[in-house]
Amino acid sequence: MTGITNVVSKRERDCLVLLKEQSSDDFPLRLHEIASTMKIKPPTALNIIRRLKSKGYVETQDGMIKLSDSGDRISSTILMVHRTFESLFCQSGVSESKACREASEIDFLINSDNAMKVLKRIDSPSLCPHGKPIKV
Amino acid sequence: MTGITNVVSKRERDCLVLLKEQSSDDFPLRLHEIASTMKIKPPTALNIIRRLKSKGYVETQDGMIKLSDSGDRISSTILMVHRTFESLFCQSGVSESKACREASEIDFLINSDNAMKVLKRIDSPSLCPHGKPIKV
DNA sequence: AATAATGTTAGTATAATGCTAATGCATGAC
DNA sequence: GTCATGCATTAGCATTATACTAACATTATT
C-alpha cells in the first residue's frame, strides 16, 4: 500500500491543519487557542490533542502544543490533497469559500498518490486558489 | 442552500447504494442479504436500516426492504457524485477499482451542485468507468 | 496574597458502528 | 402435525469520535 489514507478523524484533521497553518517552533499554540479557533471547549480540544499525541503527531512542552515530525508530514500531505481538490472545485466554477469547505470534508480521506494524479489531471497548478503552494 | 450534502453516514450510504444497485420493486432485498453483502451481522444491518427508515429513505413490507421515493432520489444523487469522481480518478490514471473505492469514501459528503460543476470540468463524460450512466 | 487565566479530571451524553446470545416466527420436510 | 431450519428482532454490550459542564489544580499577573 502506498500513499497516506484515513488515519485521522475529521476533528483530528482540523487540529492538524490548524497547527500546520498557525503555529511554528517559535509560535506553538496553546490549548485554549486551539479550542477557541476550533470553536470547542478546552476539554474537548484536550481530548483531540491527546488522540493526536497517542498517534505520535503532536508533542507538548509546558502547555505548548506543536506538531511532531510525522505530524508535520501528515499535515503537509493533507494540505496538498486539500489544495488539489480546492483547485479542482474552483476550476469547476465553485466559489473559493465553498471550494475550501468542500475540500476540508474530504482531504483527509483521499490517498495522497491518487490526489497527486488528480493534480496532474487538472494541469498541475502550483498554487491553490488562496495563493498557497500545493506541493510543499 | 442548494444541492444535497451529508445527510447520511458512511454505512447508511453503503446501504443506500446497495439497495439502489441491487434491488428493484420486483426484487427487493432481505435483511440477511444486505447483511451478507455488507459483511456485517443481521442485527448491525437492522440498525442501519432502522436509521434509514427513520430518515424516510427506506420502506419495509414483510421483511422486504426497498428504497422510498426520497431514498431513491438521494441514492441517485450519491451515485452521480460517485461516478463523477470515479471518472475523475480514472482520467487521472488511477485504476478502476481504486477509483471506485476512493469515490465511495467521499461521494456522500460532496454537495451535488459542486459535483455537477466538476463533471463539466472533466469534459462531461456520460458514462462512468464501469460503463454506467453518470446522470440518471 | 488575591485574582485571573489556563490546564486537567471526572462525569455525562449522543451518534455511528459493530458484536453475541436469545427469542420469536414462519415455512417446508417428514 | 411436529420439528428443524432459516430469518428477523430484541436485548445487552463495547468502542470510537465528538462534545458538554462542573470542579479542581496550577500558573501568572497584579
Q: Please report the pLDDT score of residue B4 as a whole number.
A: 46
**Taking all residues of chain A, what is their mean pLDDT, rounded to a whole number?**
93
Query: Is strand D less than 7 A from the beta carbon of B125?
Result: no
Question: Touching check for A95 and chain B: CB below 8 Å?
Answer: no
Distance in angstroms: CA A63, C1' D29:
18
Judge whether B127 and B134 are in contact, CB under 8 Å. Answer: yes
Judge whether A59 and A68 are in contact, CB under 8 Å. Answer: yes
Q: Please report the pLDDT score of residue B88 as a whole number.
A: 98
Terminal CA-CA length for chain B: 22
Query: Is strand D less than 7 A from the beta carbon of B30?
Result: yes
Tell me whether residue B62 is exposed, middle or buried, using C-beta atoms within 10 angstroms of its C-beta: 0 to 12, 13 to 18, 19 or more: exposed
Residue A134's closest CA among A95, A90, A69, A71?
A90
* Domain limits, CATH 1.10.10.10, in chain A: 10-67
State which residues of chain B have pLDDT below 70: 1-6
Q: Please report the pLDDT score of residue A4 as a whole number.
A: 46
Q: What is the CATH number of domain A10-67?
A: 1.10.10.10
Q: Please report the pLDDT score of residue A3 as a whole number.
A: 53
Number of other CB atoms surrounding residue B39 within 10 Å: 8
H-helix or E-strand containing A53? helix A42-54
CA distance B48 to A94: 33
- All residues of chain A having their beta carbon less than 8 Å from the beta carbon of residue B98 are 111, 114
Q: Which set of grid coordinates corresponds to residue B132? A: 454506467
Stated pTM of the model = 0.91
H-helix or E-strand containing B65? strand B64-67
CB nearest B120 (choices: A92, A114, A117): A92
- Residues ≥6 apart with Cβ < 8 Å to A89: A98, A99, A102, A103, B114, B117, B118
CA distance A105 to A11: 10
Helices A112-121 and B69-91: crossing angle in degrees, nearest 10, is: 80
Dump pLDDT digits (tens) for B30-67. 999 999 999 999 999 999 999 999 999 999 988 899 99
| Chain A to chain B Cβ contacts (< 8 Å) | 61
State which residues of chain A have pLDDT below 50: 1-2, 4-5
Is the CA virtual torsion A94, A117, A9, B81 positive or negative?
A: positive
